[in-house]
């Protein structure tokens, strides 16, 4: 096999995980703001009303919780100016492309160490998976959480590169990293440490000067974040949370106790990280002459490990109050996977001779298996998130029974791009069912209603069903429909993943039987409501109301303090 043909084959293998990642993203991505995304609408108003560059700079650099998110805001502004409206799918795509932008860096490190293109193959199978579903489908989080990782890695690499031009670029990237996410601040001390270890006093002096300016700009007029609950976890619990954070990639491994396997995997990765760090420091401090590529690899590895382990400390300390299980959530998994990638790079670089290809082939097989596990395991999460976003938008958009939007020519109303949503196909059936108690394809709905338990509490309604077996994807599923004299509310029911490995992998049964939901009364206006089930199965729709009405009391929502 000649080299040209070999590169073509390897390139195809590299493109497979990229293509799957973006196809899966396109499958479930929806132009609806999630939580913090709403703040970008106010930012667009502020930028449009700004009459000077200082006012625009203030809008871009304004604090968001404990972060500065200037990069997210800048991309949102460019999207609004270029397309005429803000589209959250565009922001998601920008963030996912930032995640993709780390792959050329990994390739450069391998190439400098005289590794073939084949050595890169395992990395995209690890790096691009549905394990990152929350960031993938969340406009602000995609740019912030993916962007900061990629920017830190590139900044570290360019900072330690022999080229003075690339070092100057690293100074600019360091400033951009700081205003991308709060943990981007780590790049400043990390760069200083690496330049000190690398014996670059002139660069170190300039780096410290720029870092001082970046720190002043970040913390000037800084307001502490008061929304995080105080952690009551013990030291042992925090240690468990730390290890689970580092090993969170393993959540998709098909074992009964996901959190426990994350702790075990994180502990192993932590020990590997310590070993890698000690070996790299030993080689850098020894008098033995090493090649420049080896020095760059060692320094880069140390810097990346400092970033991962430091971020883990901050996240565990600040978020443990929400519960330790939240430390293995999707938005943090990129750090666990990055730790895997760093371990792979550090191990594969020293291998020479005929052992290289079989070694990479074995790791590629493991990476492909991990990739498959991730898509199977987290498909349910992506499906549930899409349903949550679409029903949230329905509830805040349609505030009366006409199911129409009053004409509004204000600037704020036109900020977000108008895109079709599946619930618009429900309108006729919802109105008909409201009049006669049912509509559409109702076969099996009475049985489904009888199998579904609706339990009222003073603050919410708990819904559970153990028999529903549909495996349809996208927007198909069961929704809860509430109707009073004034308006409708729609809430999704959520599916749980099928943990039967045989059914999951051989029969493609992604969802376990049944569904559940927790409807908070704080989001609804007090009153008497009819409660119904709305079932969508592909293009078929059926609605059935219960004969018994419920009375929803007035419940005040817990207010979360924010600074944006």
Q: First CA to last CA across the chain, in angstroms?
A: 59
Residue 532, in any domain of the structure:
yes
Q: pLDDT tens track of the chain, all 564 residues?
A: 577 888 888 999 999 999 999 999 999 999 999 989 999 999 999 999 999 999 999 999 998 888 899 999 999 999 999 999 999 999 999 999 999 999 999 999 999 999 999 999 999 999 999 999 999 999 999 999 999 999 999 999 999 999 999 999 999 999 999 999 999 999 999 999 999 999 999 999 999 999 999 999 988 877 766 556 666 778 888 999 999 999 999 999 888 888 999 999 999 999 999 999 999 999 888 866 678 888 999 999 999 999 999 999 999 988 887 788 889 999 999 999 999 999 999 889 988 878 888 999 999 999 999 999 999 999 999 999 999 999 999 999 999 999 988 776 678 778 999 888 889 899 999 999 999 999 999 999 999 999 999 999 999 999 999 999 999 988 999 999 999 999 999 999 999 998 887 888 888 889 999 999 999 999 999 999 999 999 999 889 999 999 889 999 999 877 766 665
CA nearest to 260, candidates 238, 241, 279: 241
In a domain, 166, yes or no: no
Is the backbone of residue 114 left (phi > 0), alpha (psi -120 to 50) or beta?
A: left
Residue 355 located in a structural domain: no
Q: Is residue 143 part of a domain?
A: no
Residue 445 belongs to a domain with what CATH number? 2.60.40
Cα 199 to chain center, whole Å? 37
Whether residue 81 lies inside any domain: the answer is no
DSSP 542: E
The helix/strand count (H/E) of the chain reads as 21, 10
> Which of 449, 441, 511 has its CA nearest to residue 481?
449
Q: How far is CA 38 from CA 32, 33, 107, 139, in A?
A: 9, 6, 37, 10
Helix ranges, 254-332 (H): 258-285, 292-319
- Look up the domain containing 472 and give its range: 422-552
Spatial contact of 252 and 378, defined as CB atoms under 8 Å apart: yes
Q: Are the beta carbons of 370 and 249 closer than 8 angstroms? A: yes
Q: Where are the alpha helices (DSSP H) in 320-417?
A: 333-348, 356-397
Contact assessment for residue 102 and residue 150, using Cβ atoms and an 8 Å cutoff: yes
User: If DSSP codes are grouped into helix, strand and coil, which group holds residue 439?
Assistant: strand
Q: Is residue 509 part of a domain?
A: yes
The answer to whether 534 and 499 are in contact (CB under 8 A) is no
Instruction: Give the span between the Cα atoms of 158 and 349, in whole angstroms.
Output: 19
Report if residue 247 sits inside a domain.
no
Q: How many domains does the chain have?
A: 1
Burial pattern 476-505, b for ≥16 Cβ within 10 A else e, equals bbbbbbbbbeebbbbbbbbbebbeeeeebe
Tokens of residue 261, six digits:
């396997």
The C-alpha atoms of residue 33 and residue 39 are separated, in whole angstroms, by 9
322 domain-assigned:
no
The 10 Å CB-count burial string (b at 16+, else e) for 332-352 is bbbbbbbbbbbbbbbebbeee
d(CA 71, CA 37) in angstroms, rounded, equals 14
């Amino acid at each position: 096999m000649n080299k040209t043909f070999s590169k073509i084959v390897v390139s195809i293998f590299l493109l497979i995980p990229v293509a799957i990642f973006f196809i899966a993203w396109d499958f479930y991505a929806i132009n609806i703001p999630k939580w913090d995304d709403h703040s970008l609408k106010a930012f667009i108003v502020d930028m449009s009303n700004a009459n000077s560059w200082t006012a625009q700079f203030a809008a871009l650099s304004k604090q968001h919780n404990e972060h500065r998110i200037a990069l997210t805001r800048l991309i949102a502004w460019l999207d609004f100016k270029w397309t005429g409206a803000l589209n959250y799918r565009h922001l998601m795509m920008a963030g996912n492309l930032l995640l993709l932008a780390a792959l050329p860096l990994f390739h450069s490190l391998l190439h400098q160490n005289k590794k073939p293109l084949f050595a890169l193959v395992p990395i995209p199978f690890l790096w691009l998976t549905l394990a990152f579903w929350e960031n993938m489908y969340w406009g602000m989080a995609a740019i912030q959480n993916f962007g900061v990782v990629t920017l830190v890695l590139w900044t570290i690499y360019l900072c330690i590169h022999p080229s003075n031009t690339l070092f100057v670029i690293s100074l600019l990237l360091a400033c951009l990293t700081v205003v991308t996410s709060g943990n981007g601040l780590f790049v400043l001390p990390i760069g200083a440490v690496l330049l000190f270890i690398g014996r670059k006093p002139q660069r170190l002096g300039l780096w410290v000067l720029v870092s001082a300016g970046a720190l002043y700009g970040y913390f000037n007029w800084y307001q502490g974040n008061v929304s995080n609950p105080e952690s009551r976890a013990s030291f042992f619990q925090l240690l468990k949370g730390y290890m689970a954070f580092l090993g969170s990639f393993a959540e998709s491994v098909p074992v009964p106790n996901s959190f426990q396997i994350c702790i075990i995997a994180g502990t192993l990765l932590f020990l590997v990280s310590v070993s890698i760090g000690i070996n790299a420091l030993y080689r850098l401090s020894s008098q033995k002459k090493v090649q420049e590529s080896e020095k760059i690899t060692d320094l880069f590895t140390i810097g990346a490990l400092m970033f991962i382990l430091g971020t883990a400390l901050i996240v565990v300390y600040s978020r443990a109050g929400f519960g330790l299980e939240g430390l293995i959530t999707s938005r943090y998994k990129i750090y666990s996977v990055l730790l895997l990638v760093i371990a792979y790079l550090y191990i594969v670089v020293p291998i020479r001779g005929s052992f290289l290809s079989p070694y990479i082939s074995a790791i590629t097989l493991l990476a492909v298996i991990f990739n498959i596990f991730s898509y199977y395991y987290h498909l349910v999460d992506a499906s549930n998130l899409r349903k949550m976003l679409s029903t949230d938008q329905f509830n805040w958009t349609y505030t009366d029974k006409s199911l129409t939007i009053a004409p509004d020519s204000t600037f704020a109303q036109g900020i977000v791009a108008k895109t079709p949503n599946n619930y618009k196909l429900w309108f006729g059936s919802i109105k008909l069912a409201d009049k006669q108690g049912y509509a559409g394809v109702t076969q099996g709905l009475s049985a489904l209603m009888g199998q579904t338990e609706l339990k009222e509490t003073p603050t919410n309604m708990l819904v559970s069903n153990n028999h529903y077996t549909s495996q349809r994807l996208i927007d198909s599923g069961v929704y809860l429909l509430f109707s009073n004299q004034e308006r409708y509310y729609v809430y999704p029911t959520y599916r749980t993943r099928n943990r039967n490995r045989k059914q999951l992998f051989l029969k493609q049964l992604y969802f376990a039987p049944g569904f559940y939901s927790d409807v908070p009364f704080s989001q609804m206006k007090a009153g008497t409501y009819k409660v119904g089930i709305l079932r969508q199965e592909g293009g078929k729709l059926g609605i059935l109301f219960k004969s018994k009405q419920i009375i929803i009391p007035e419940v005040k929502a817990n207010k979360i303090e924010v600074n944006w």
